[in-house]
Structure 1
Amino acid sequence: MRRRMLAQLEPWGITPHHARALRCIGETDRARLRDVADRLRIAARSATEVVDALQEKGLVTREPDPLDRRATLVSPTEDGRRLVEAIDAARAERNAEFFGALTAQDRATLHRILGSLPVE
C-alpha cells in the first residue's frame, strides 16, 4: 500500500508526510503551526520544514496569529484544498481496489480487528 501511495502522490510532487500535513491543515480554516506539529506527532521544527515545502508549492499560506504574535497560522490555498480532494479521491480508489479482493465478511473482520488495536 505504501508503494502504491508513493506512486499516486508522485505526479503532485509531494510525499505522504506532506499529504498528511496538508490534510491536517485543510481540516481547519487556519491552524497554528504548533497544532499541526502536535496532530502529526512531530517536532515543531519538523512541522516548520513540512509547511515550508507546502508553501513553496503554493499549497498553504502563513500569517501571524493576531491573538499571539509568537504564533503562526497556516491556511490551505485553493490549490491546496483541490489537491486534498484529489488525493482523497485517489486514496479511496486505491483502497477500494486493494480491499476489493476481500469478501464483505473478511472486510468486516479486518475492520473489527483493526478497531480493537490501541491508537497512539
Structure 2
Amino acid sequence: MPVADENLLDSFWAVARRLRHLSRDALAPWDVAPSQSRALGMLRRHGQLRLGELSERLHIVPRSATEVVDGLQERGWCVRQPDPADRRATVVTLTDAGRELSEAIRAAQLEQADKFFAVLTHEERAELAATLGRLLRAEEGASLTFDRASEDRGQ
C-alpha cells in the first residue's frame, strides 16, 4: 500500500473513532444506545416504517431491528401498529416523547459535529461532504452490483 494511502486510511479511521466517541458523549444524557439513536433518527425522518424497512435502512438484520424497537417501545418512544395497507405487517411510529428525544439528540450531535469541524472553513466542509458522499455512492453501487451478481448465481 502506498504511504499516502496508508496515511489517508489511518487518518480516516482516527476521525471515525473520534466522531463515534463524540456521538456517544452526545447520547449520554439520555442513556440511549447508538443503535437506538439511529432508529429514532430514521423514524423521525421517515415517519412510520415497517420493521423490515427499518432494518434495511439501518443495515441490520430484522431480529436486531426488533430488539432495537423493543427497547424504544419499553421506554415509551415508539409504538407498533398494524400496517393499514397490509394488516399482516407492523409499522413503527415515534410517540411525541420519541420525536422530542430524537430532535434533542440530533441537536446535541450537530453541536458536537460543529465543534469538531470548526477547524474547517465552510467551503472545506462542503468539499468534505461532497467527497464522502461520492465515496458512499460508489460503495453503494459496488454493493448493489455484488448483490445482483450473488442473486444471479443463486446465492
Let me know the Cα RMSD of the aligned residues. Answer: 1.6
- 1:105 Cα deviation (Å)? 4.1
Is 1:18 matched with 2:31? Answer: no
Structure 2 gap segments, 5+ residues each: 1-18, 141-155
Q: Distance in 2 between matches of 1:110 and 1:74?
A: 34
SS of residue matched to 1:61? strand
Structure with more of its chain in helix, by fraction = 2
The structure with the largest alpha-carbon Rg is 2
Aligned residue in 1 for 2:51: 33
Q: How does 1:1-120 map to 2 (within 5 A)?
A: 1-119=19-137, 120=140
Please state how far the C-alpha of 1:10 moved relative to its aligned partner. Answer: 1.4
1:37-83 C-alpha deviation (Å, 9 max, x unpaired)? 11112111111011001001110011122332321111100010001
TM-score normalised by L of structure 1 = 0.89
Task: Check 1:94–1:65 CA distance in 2 against 1; reply closer, same or farther (3 A cut).
Answer: same
Aligned CA distance change for structure 1 residues 69 and 96 (closer, same or farther; 3 Å): same
Equivalent pairs, count: 120
Secondary structure at 2:87 match in 1: strand
Say which SS state the counterpart of residue 118 (structure 1) adopts: helix
The alignment's TM-score, normalised by the length of structure 2, stands at 0.70
1:104 CA drift (Å): 3.5
